[in-house]
Structure formats: structure tokens, C-alpha cells
Amino acid sequence: MTLDVGWALDWVHAAATSVAVHRDELIDLDRQIGDGDHGANLDRGFTAVLARLDGLEQRPAQVGDVLRLVATTLMSTVGGASGPLYGTAFLRAAKVSALPDLDASATVALLEAALDGIVARGNASPGEKTMVDAWAPAVDAAVAAADNGASPAGVLAAAAVAAEAGAHATIPLVATKGRASYLGPRSAGHLDPGARSSELILRAAAEAAAST
């Protein structure tokens, strides 16, 4: 099986729904170690993404077309650090998925490109209590799954499981990047909101693939 434009559209809708459902949770997580706007910003951004998709006159021809729309919309509507970070992630992913459908290796390439975009934009590394701590293990798991012959859906399922573990592994970490780093040792004991939203978005991708 492959993942086509229908999957990409389903992913975006599932991600938007998940962000809306978890909006207050993300706000609360961000209040603990940030400025409290992560959930509201992401929810506003994905709501704008859905509005743009609904306004399209023609169905996108390639997976990358969908991801590019997500990228540009998030960059223009989401404030704080998350807009540029997610925008760059989806933009990099769009560049490598300019295809009508994706096999397992192309799905891995999409995830790798997204992670590369986040790292380049945020200059962050694993262990610094950022969204990278969800994305990096997700990519590693995706690569391993593809190497073992998994389908694109299997690749995303493995990535989602690893992202969840990576996100929750941020709880004991002391933040050394971003606004949370201002708290120093007091940032330990809290789940990073960016890692949590990354987990939700990757889980949405896996769920969309599973129902394709």
C-alpha cells in the first residue's frame, strides 16, 4: 500500500481535531514552563489550515501540495516559536513528498525532512526538552520499521509510539532551549508542550494511515 493525497488530507483533519480536543491540555502544559499560548496558537493555526483546504477549487495533486499549504498557513497564523518550527517542518516535508503517493521509504523521508527542519529552525538537539525529543525517536523508529519491511502505515505507527515515549521522557529533563530554559532546574517535572503536540500530530498521521 501507499499513502496518497487522501491520506494527507485525512492527516490534516485528524491533527486539527486532536489539537482542538487537547487545546486546554497544551495550554496548561505551556503555562507550567512557558507563556501558556501553545494550545491556543496551534488550534488557531489548524483551524485556518482547514479553512484554506475547504476553500480550494481543486483537489491537490500531490502529497507535498497539502503539506505546503499546512506549512504556509501555520507560518502566517501561529505565533510564538511553534509557528516557524512546525511551518518549517511541514515545508521541508513538502519538498520531499512532491509525489502522488508515498511508499515506506518516502514516508521515512517525509519524517526525516520534518525533523531536519525543526532542528535547523530551532537549533535544538535531543535531550534539551523540546519537540525534537518526540521527533528524533519517531524518525529512528520509522527508519527501523521501514528497514524491517513495514508498510507506510506501519512506519507511521512505529513513529507514533516512539513519539509518545519520547514526549513523556521530557518530564524529568531540564530545559536548555526555548522559553522553558529560563526556569532552569524548575523546568524538570513537566511534560514539554511542543513534544506533546508533536506526539499528537504524529499519532494523527498514523491513525489516518491505518484507516486508508
Domains of the chain, CATH where assigned: 3-210 (1.25.40.340)
CB crowding 125-164: b at 16 or more within 10 Å, else e? ebebbbbbbbbbbbbbbbbebbeeebbbbbbbbbbbbbbb
pLDDT at 147: 98
* Crossing angle of the two packed helices 193-210 and 82-96, in degrees rounded to 10: 30
Confidence of residue 35 (pLDDT cuts 50, 70, 90): confident
The answer to whether 28 touches 61, Cβ cutoff 8 Å, is no
pTM listed for this prediction = 0.96
pLDDT in tens, 177-204: 888 888 888 899 999 999 999 999 999 9
